[in-house]
Amino acid sequence: MRNLYIALMIFFIAWLIFSVVNAQGVLLLAKPSLLLQLPVQHIFIGSGLILSLLCFTWASAMRSYSMVILALFFAVKALSILVAGGISFFGLFTHNIYLLNTELLFFANLSNMLFFSFTIKLFSLKKRGENSYQLLLGLAIVMTVMVPLSYVFGDRAATWLLTQIPISISLLALLYVASTVREEKRRLTKIYSLILVVQLSFNMMAYLLYYWRFSAQVIHGLDMVAFWFMAIMVNYLMGRKYYCHIRDEKLAKQQVLASAKASDLVQKNLLALQDESQEQSENRVQERTLELNIALQELEAVNQVLKEKNTLDELSGLYNRRYYDEKIMAEFRRSRRNLTPLSLILVDIDHFKNVNDSYGHLTGDKCIVEVASMINALLRRGTDVGCRYGGEEFCLILPETDEKGALALAQKICQSVSQQYILNNESVIDLTVSCGVTTYQQEQDVTPEIIFDRADKALYKAKQAGRDQVQVSKIKLL
């Protein structure tokens, strides 16, 4: 790599000398009479060519698509500065004054769009900055549309202003994009932002020189200085990126080596343990086995607690809807296997929306807790399951319970709730519930969904009949 740098430096110096001596011959293709009077532009063209070649060399060495775009950017940017200085490249192909008037805006906007592309690639905006990517894409479309506008401007000064304004807007947009770059790219944004700020300063100076009516040669010289400052800083930026890339690779290799050493150390320790006596090994195995059993018991206890949290409704203390879905399927299969009845009770708090609207949701939650407590107290058997199905609705699964037993329990729930008064500050809330009951008695082609549907229809009948009562719906299939 060091030899490559030395070769590039020799090549750069040789080409610079060659370009100063022979630039006149290179530029004779454009306007020979004009170029003979502009030796500074000779140096600019020669050095611009070597800059582009250096960028292509960097691109080949680093295998970087960003450097290819950067090389194209410097070439087009140099062309736009030469056009602003009075050299016409379109003049080689046409003498149409209107088409020649679009040349400056064409090269300037093309260089802006190439720098947008370089920025998108540098900071991976397609993957990590969708909004910034869309912003730059929109600006590129606007700049493309602006090029034909210069066709109607006959005044070169107006065309120059039409060129500078998009440059200023582009620099401000790129500063915004740099401020939104994620943390892993922050180490490059400071240099990148400095480049933009200085370029924006040069741009403002160009406006002032134009306002104070300085000569076009002065403004053109300022453009060249700005170009070379940007070239130096952007190449430094890419060198910094390459350095960071090499450093990160080196750190990654060091981490891999450290991991390998740690692995070797662990393997050596394992071999040392294997070399110990059989008796010591057995004792250690027994100790580890005991520790593992204790850890498994503790893990089982923790899993049980987590399972309860996942199946319990936090507000009511009853089981939740997820547990209901699992339990009803299990009890349905057991009922069908053992030929035992399975009853289902749906309980719904009457006029619960009015309670929420009149007293607030906190009072509504209190009512749900009270009703859930009464239901839980009335479930005597360990096999009976109470669940909060959703909102103010509860569902009770009663294995090995016939219709008569389910009806009696539902009536007790209605009676207990209607006799209970819930205090809310100075108010007393009278609650009632409606219940729907159904019982599965080994009917053919019945599913848990059909059982729930029959209980829901019974609950609807209770609501329609005036609430605060129990209705029974039998399972009848055609």
Q: Which of 103, 370, 392, 393 is catalytic?
A: 392
86 versus 209: which is more confidently predicted?
A: 209
Predicted pLDDT of residue 453: 93
Query: Is 372 in contact with 319 (CB distance < 8 Å)?
Result: no
Average pLDDT, the chain: 77
Predicted pLDDT of residue 371: 92
Query: Is 125 in contact with 132 (CB distance < 8 Å)?
Result: yes
CATH 1.20.1070 residue ranges in the chain? 2-251
d(CA 75, CA 81): 10
The class (CATH top level) of 314-472 is alpha beta
Q: How many CB atoms lie within 10 A of CB 376?
A: 14
377 versus 292: which is more confidently predicted?
A: 377
**What are the tens digits of pLDDT across the range 392-448?**
899 999 999 999 999 999 999 999 999 888 877 777 888 899 999 999 998 888 999
Fold of 2-251: Rhopdopsin 7-helix transmembrane proteins (1.20.1070)
State what percent of residues in the chain have pLDDT above 70: 74
Predicted pLDDT of residue 339: 92
User: Does 392 qualify as catalytic in the annotation?
Assistant: yes
**What are the tens digits of pLDDT across the range 20-71?**
444 433 333 344 444 434 456 555 666 666 666 666 666 666 666 777 777 7
Query: 0.85 exceeded by the pTM?
Result: no
* Of the ranges 2-11, 137-146, 308-317, the best mean pLDDT one: 137-146
CATH 3.30.70.270 residue ranges in the chain? 314-472
Q: State yes or no: pLDDT of 80 exceeds 80.
A: no
Confidence of residue 119 (pLDDT cuts 50, 70, 90): confident
